[in-house]
Amino acid sequence: MKSNNKRQDLIGIIAGFLALAVAMGIGRFAYTPLLPYMEATHLSSFAAGFLASMNYLGYLIGALAARRIEQKRSVLLYSLWANVITTLWMGFTESMVLWSVLRLASGISSGLVFVLVVSLVMYELTKSGRLSWSGYMYGGVGFGIFISGVSIPFAALNMHWSYIWVLLGLFSLVAALFVAKAVPYDPPLAEAAATNDAQPPARKDVVSLYLSYTCEGFGYIIFGTFIVAMLEAAPEMHWPAGYIWAIAGIGAIPSCLFWAWLAKKQTVTKTLKRAYLVQIVSVSLPVISTSFFPAALAAFGFGATFMGIVMLTMLKANELFGAGAQRLVAGLTSAYALGQIAGPLVAVLLIQEGDYTLAFSLAAIVLIVGYSGLYFKKGE
């Protein structure tokens, strides 16, 4: 039964939306459209991949740390402020060592923000019978990607890329101020303790979810890290490649609402399989052609699935483990982060003189493996 605190749920969703826009859409993914400008003056392909992996290593550390945190709200807010600071600071240095530290710290804060804000908001939505509304919250990642994808190519015509980091950091600061006022409070200790008594799901179901989500982390991040650089190097691409990244953001903003709707019509597992298939096709398209239309279609399909898969995986965790899913969410996020760390490091070994074909082909193959692992005893 739905409770009457509809306004409270809406405020919580907006807070979650903005928190994910700051920590994920900008804190993590602004690096993708900024990468070609940074490479033009400072970074080799290896250094670019290394910085990406430092961020994903931090994401792993943050997700692992979130497993046992009880004071979710306060840690969430401290992490959000840290994320804002690391985004701002990227524009005030050109030291590779300091960049490495900042991307690591940004990743730690992103991992904490993701797990904790999802835990807080989904707890409130589960309690009020509005869990399907969570799709609105995940749209924040797409919103952050859209903001960076639209603003960066335009801003780069008029200013150095370092100033763009600062501008994105200031935008994040404004959004974080609202989050600090609106994010839900921790549940009462008695309720929190009760959720931890939930029966664990079947081991096969958990292993299946871990396998598919690790493969997703590996496969999607190769596209998410290198698509703009790949298109910048393509002679047939006559548009600023950063705008292609904005198309990914447009696809991501409403995607979770669509996948949540489809999951209600079918099952979470069937919907998750469909999302993987769309992403496999999307990641494969740039291997076939890097001209504008296939690239735009690939970006839209990628945007329409990568956060949808995250949301559906979290819904599956909630389906398997009930309200006590925080540890499973944190564990899955850690597995996802391991895939993200490995993806760019392996990809840079396959990238040769601007040719990304092998790297993107490998990403598609690993995603196919992840798709093949999606078999569950419960909720099939």
Query: All domains of the chain, ordered by start, with CATH?
Result: 6-372 (1.20.1250.20)
Report in angstroms the alpha-carbon separations of 350 from 36, 355, 373: 18, 8, 25
The average pLDDT across 11-24 equals: 94
Rounded to the nearest 5°, which phi and psi values hold at 355?
Answer: -95, 110
Highest mean pLDDT (candidates 39-48, 227-236, 318-327, 332-341): 332-341
Instruction: Report whether 182 contacts 14 (CB < 8 A).
Output: yes
**Tens-digit pLDDT profile for residues 332-348:** 888 998 998 899 889 98
Cα distance between residue 268 and residue 52, in whole Å: 31
Q: Band of the pLDDT at 190, cuts 50, 70, 90? A: very low
Cα distance between residue 169 and residue 97, in whole Å: 20
Which residues, in sequence order, are bridge partners of residue 355? Answer: 352
Question: What's the number of CA atoms in the CB half-sphere (13 Å) around residue 231?
Answer: 28
Residue 365, both tokens = 């193959």
How many CB atoms are located within 10 Å of the residue 112 CB? 30
The average pLDDT across 197-223 equals: 83
pLDDT of residue 191: 55
**Tens-digit pLDDT profile for residues 308-324:** 999 899 888 877 776 55
pLDDT of residue 202: 67
Residue 234, both tokens = 């393509």
Cα distance between residue 120 and residue 112, in whole Å: 12
pLDDT of residue 292: 86
Cα distance between residue 367 and residue 281, in whole Å: 10
Q: What is the DSSP letter of 183?
A: S
Q: Band of the pLDDT at 354, cuts 50, 70, 90? A: confident
Residue partners of 264: CB distance under 8 A and separation at least 6: 132
**Tens-digit pLDDT profile for residues 237-274:** 767 777 888 899 899 888 988 998 999 888 888 999 99
pLDDT of residue 97: 94
Region of residue 354 (phi > 0: left; psi between -120 and 50: alpha; otherwise: beta): left
Cα distance between residue 82 and residue 204, in whole Å: 37
Supply the mean pLDDT for the chain: 86
Quick check: 189 pLDDT over 80? no
The average pLDDT across 138-149 equals: 89
% of the chain at pLDDT higher than 90: 43
Dump the DSSP string for 187-209: PPHHHHHHHTTPPPPPHHHHHHH
Quick check: 205 pLDDT over 90? no
| 3-state SS assignment for residue 14 | helix
- Segment holding 98, helix H or strand E: helix 96-128
| 3-state SS assignment for residue 355 | strand
Residue 158, both tokens = 């008029």
First to last CA, the chain: 24
Instruction: Report whether 153 contacts 243 (CB < 8 A).
Output: yes
Q: Is the pTM of this model over 0.75?
A: yes
* Chain position carrying tokens 């335009």: 154
